[in-house]
A and B are shown apart, each in its own frame.
Chain A
Amino acid sequence: MIGNLPYIAVAIFIGLGIYTLMFKKNLIKIAIGVCLIENGVNLFLITLGYKKGAIAPIYTQAPSGQAMVLPTPQALTLTSIVIGIATTALILSVAMMIYKHYGTLDTDQVRRLRG
């Protein structure tokens, strides 16, 4: 049961992220919702590599005779975090452009394209 806690945390993160994305009206809160989903998926990837009682997968001056956690999910998560930075920077810049032209950050008012 204790070993399942990170997965429950992943489910809570993704659930809260989707709730924020669907029901909040401010553009910046929608960007935060995207960040929450991304954090949940990164946590999921890292938790997949865990082995009970193992140490970090570094050979430099490591204590001998111990198992190590899997290093591949750590590389995947790192790539995903870098992509997340680019996504966040771009979504915030586009929100700034919307504020410059529409004068408001409320999605009910940012609705010139419809039909």
Chain B
Amino acid sequence: MKEMSRIVKTVTNFVYGFIIIFGFYIIAHGHLTPGGGFQGGAVVGSAFALLLVSYGSLNSNKFLKKDIFSLFENFGLTLFIVLGFSGLGITFFYNFLANSGSWFGDAAVIGINPGDMNTGGVIPLMNIAVGLEVLSAFGVILLTMARGAEFTKKKENS
């Protein structure tokens, strides 16, 4: 698809960083506020869609590469399953980090509380793994469809 005008490109340059940071904020605070892995990953994926639309698919192949996205997707998925396996001493998906004092290990207060980010055990780590996977998956889907659209347009025009 063709690139858009200079105004759109300038606004995109300002804004896409904030969208990506907002997406990571939603991923990281998933155990306290609404959000979590999938929702944050979808927001970061929409930042990639913004880049793809405003720069055109030929130009964005220079800075959004499909192979790297595919690699990160596999990392995210493997990390999720490994976190599930690591509780296998008791049961699969057992939350072995909760109330233990190490990473994310503070005891959670039951009832209304001001919100402590250090709680939750293995849940924030799984949120990060799923968020990484979802943002890479969006990148792969968008880039593959853009390349397919180019191929069809070339066939139509020829």
Do the two chains touch directly in the complex (Cβ atoms below 8 Å apart)?
Answer: yes
Interface members, chain A 34-68 (any B CB < 8 Å)? 56, 58-62, 64
CB of A61 within 8 A of CB of B38, answer no
CB of A78 within 8 A of CB of B38, answer yes
CB of B114 within 8 A of CB of A96, answer no
* Nearest CB on B from A85, distance (A): 8
CB of B151 within 8 A of CB of A100, answer yes
Residue total for A at the interface (Cβ-Cβ under 8 A): 17
* Nearest CB on A from B156, distance (A): 9
CB of B141 within 8 A of CB of A96, answer no
Which residue of chain A has the shortest Cβ distance to B38 in the bound complex?
Answer: A82
CB of A89 within 8 A of CB of B141, answer yes
Q: Quick one: given A82-B38, A89-B141, A93-B145, are A58 and B33 in contact (CB under 8 Å)?
A: yes
Q: Which residues of A sit under 8 angstroms from B148, Cβ to Cβ?
A: 93, 96, 100
CB of B112 within 8 A of CB of A62, answer yes
B152 part of interface (Cβ distance < 8 Å): yes
Interface members, chain B 142-158 (any A CB < 8 Å)? 144-145, 148-149, 151-152, 155
Q: On chain B, which size bracket covers the interface?
A: 10 to 19
Q: Which residues of B sit under 8 angstroms from A61, Cβ to Cβ?
A: 112-115
Checking B42, B111, B145 against A96 with a beta-carbon cut-off of 8 angstroms, the contacting residue is: B145
A99 part of interface (Cβ distance < 8 Å): yes
CB of B152 within 8 A of CB of A59, answer no
CB of B155 within 8 A of CB of A100, answer yes
* Nearest CB on A from B93, distance (A): 15
What 9 A-B pairs come out closest when comparing CB atoms?
A: A60-B115, A60-B32, A96-B148, A62-B112, A89-B141, A82-B38, A59-B112, A64-B112, A61-B114
Interface members, chain B 22-60 (any A CB < 8 Å)? 32-34, 38-39, 42
CB of A60 within 8 A of CB of B141, answer no
CB of A59 within 8 A of CB of B113, answer yes
* Nearest CB on B from A92, distance (A): 7
* Nearest CB on B from A57, distance (A): 10
Contacts A/B (CB < 8 Å), 6 sampled: A56-B34, A60-B114, A61-B113, A93-B144, A96-B152, A100-B152
Interface members, chain B 106-152 (any A CB < 8 Å)? 111-115, 141, 144-145, 148-149, 151-152
* Nearest CB on A from B107, distance (A): 14
A100 to B113, CA, bound (A): 56
Q: Which residues of B sit under 8 angstroms from A82, Cβ to Cβ?
A: 38
A80 to B34, CA, bound (A): 17
Q: Which residues of A sit under 8 angstroms from B38, Cβ to Cβ?
A: 78, 81-82
